[in-house]
Structure 1
């Protein structure tokens, strides 16, 4: 089985907390933009757990009346991915090298959920200077040839807000 094909999506922003989610959603609303895809940190399902992610996104949804999309990264761990599906998560990232990838994909498909093998390009709010670049990232548009948002800033220093 193959993972879901890529589709044209809103720009993605990696959030680490409810404060991050609110910041991103407020910035998009202030600029009259659709909400971005809320993306978890890499492997977040493994170290924070699917229930934490679902609660964070549910709380974030209270601040926007329009549709908010979210994507939980499960790394290469089938167990947290299956738990997330049982809890109602509709979009997951799971490394295709995971030995149980096809089983998780079959379960996701059966539940009407979407499983993808690759994280989308995203602005990580924990990256140095990311908050200052948020408005430009959200309004950055897409490359007409690839359909992808512009590359995120590539800072390697400690986070600053």
Structure 2
């Protein structure tokens, strides 16, 4: 789970050719928005060209933000399946060739690590080797 471009860049650098999923914080679709999330992922990817990655924006229970994320070009979005509009968003995701996730994937929260220190980088590397 990334909270900014520096964390996303660190994850991409550590992942290398194996690639990595860059998951937003819970509900970030509402307070960060898809455009900002896409920009931070793009900045990180520019520093790590060629590293495969999937950007996943968590939209909690907000279908409007999930639809906006799909329109903005995100290929994967998390939306609470209890949301009444879940089926409609799922149809829009399928039409766009994107994935709608009903649960957050398991993730290491990089906001809890100090990636400037060897110990933090080692924890990230260990997570990626799993």
Give the TM-score, by structure 2 length.
Answer: 0.88
After superposition, the CA RMSD in angstroms is: 1.6
* Match status 1:95 vs 2:80: yes
| Bigger mean CA deviation after superposition, 95-104 or 123-132 | 123-132
Q: Which runs of 4+ in 1 moved over 2 A?
A: 127-132
Higher helix proportion: 2
Match of 2:124 in 1: 134
Task: Give the total of aligned pairs.
Answer: 124
Match of 1:124 in 2: 109
> Structure 2: which 5+ residue stretches go unaligned?
none
Match of 1:60 in 2: 44
> Structure 1: which 5+ residue stretches go unaligned?
1-13, 141-161
SS of the equivalent of 2:77 reads: strand
User: For each residue in 1:36-61, what CA deviation from the matched residue of structure 2 results, as whole angstroms up to 9, or x when unmatched?
Assistant: 11111110101101111111112222
Match of 1:18 in 2: 5
Structure of greater Rg: 1
Give the TM-score, by structure 1 length.
Answer: 0.72
> Is the 1:40–1:72 Cα contact (8 Å) retained in structure 2?
yes
